[in-house]
Structure 1
């Protein structure tokens, strides 16, 4: 099984700008294209810079969340400031999280790899914990040796 850890995290909040993903939840190519297009837009239109300017750390969050039976996807940061134009303040609960670490040549490659490992390998094989919903996120934490490093954080419960 892939390397992962279970970590206790305090509750935290991510403020972000989002979009509704329209592809079927089983259409991974469609979802990945929508996510890629979204990141291209927020990177070019200044949205990501607006978020980075108020962030309390260097982490960039790519958050997946079901809201009113819609698949929502957000670019976000941890911040103490209010961002009036933001589309959502996302509450992550205190508790145990599945944490999968990785690195990629780009943030998009890192995100796709972490999601694939977490949802394609670790969670299906897990015997003593499960994901039961709630927001989950890929967290871009910086660069090292020319690669983007980060983690996937998924709230889990013990079986």
Structure 2
């Protein structure tokens, strides 16, 4: 069983810039390529730097959310500010219980893929006392040290 914790969190807001993922939800390779291409673009064109300038801390959020039956993915930061950009979205995370999976990897992309796989592929199927009932979930890049990226996956859950 993968290491995880359950933690009560206050509600919080992430400002994100996003894309609609067009791959089928079972096409992990396609989804990962779309996410990778998106992150490369927001880093290169300065949109991520614009978001970081509005942030209340150094965390970078990679948010997944279903919106109007569309699979959305966002690069985001913790802030109460907004952008005048049609691709931006204020994402509300609810107060409540969260499944937290911690990890480290060589890149933010590798970290996100690793934590998502552990959380959705191992922990949620095996832990019978909690359930994910939808809503946004996020990988949080918290620190870079000695060439490694450290972070967590946060998934809102309910007790069964």
CA distance in 2, matches of 1:47, 1:140: 17
Find the counterpart in structure 2 of residue 56 from structure 1.
56
The 3-state SS of whatever aligns with 2:3 is coil
Q: Deviations over 1:116-142 (max 9, x none)?
A: 000000001111001000000000001
- Counting only pairs closer than 5 Å after superposition, residues 1-159 of structure 1 correspond to structure 2 as 1-85=1-85, 87-159=88-160
The 3-state SS of whatever aligns with 1:84 is coil
CA distance in 1, matches of 2:16, 2:84: 10
TM-score by length of 2: 0.97
Segments ≥4 residues shifted beyond 3 Å:
none
Count the aligned residue pairs. 159
CA distance in 2, matches of 1:47, 1:138: 19
CA distance in 2, matches of 1:54, 1:87: 13
The 3-state SS of whatever aligns with 2:2 is coil
The 3-state SS of whatever aligns with 1:127 is coil
CA distance in 2, matches of 1:109, 1:81: 29
CA distance in 1, matches of 2:62, 2:55: 14
CA distance in 2, matches of 1:105, 1:9: 28
Q: Give the deviation of 1:80 after TM superposition.
A: 2.4
Q: Note the residue ranges of structure 2 that are not aligned, 5 or more in a row.
A: none
Q: Deviations over 1:81-115 (max 9, x none)?
A: 22222520000000000000000100000000000
Q: Give the deviation of 1:73 after TM superposition.
A: 0.3
Contact persistence 2:82–2:90 (CA under 8 A): no
Q: CA RMSD in A?
A: 0.7
Q: Deviations over 1:46-70 (max 9, x none)?
A: 0000000010000000000000000
